[in-house]
Amino acid sequence: MNEIKYEIVEHIGVLSESAKGWKIELNLVSWNEREPKYDLRNWSENHERMGKGIALSKEEVLKLKEILNDNVKE
């Protein structure tokens, strides 16, 4: 199995943190030396381990923002 390379280019924010210290974070991440994408997933404290997540282009993030603004009520 090939090793997955990643670089957190920019830390954007933390959505939540579990009792074990894992955090759901939004970051700009370059996967396998590709163009960075917005990435939402669980990360261990030191960013050495990660859970399943989703990577989105800037256009997809803007569309998601539009959908959330139109549909999420406080």
User: In the chain, which residues have pLDDT < 50?
Assistant: none
The model scores a pTM over 0.85: yes
Q: CATH number of the domain at 6-71, please?
A: 2.30.31.70
Domain map of the chain by residue range? Answer: 6-71
Query: Which pLDDT does position 14 carry in this prediction?
Result: 98
Helix (H, G, I), strand (E, B) or coil at 26: strand
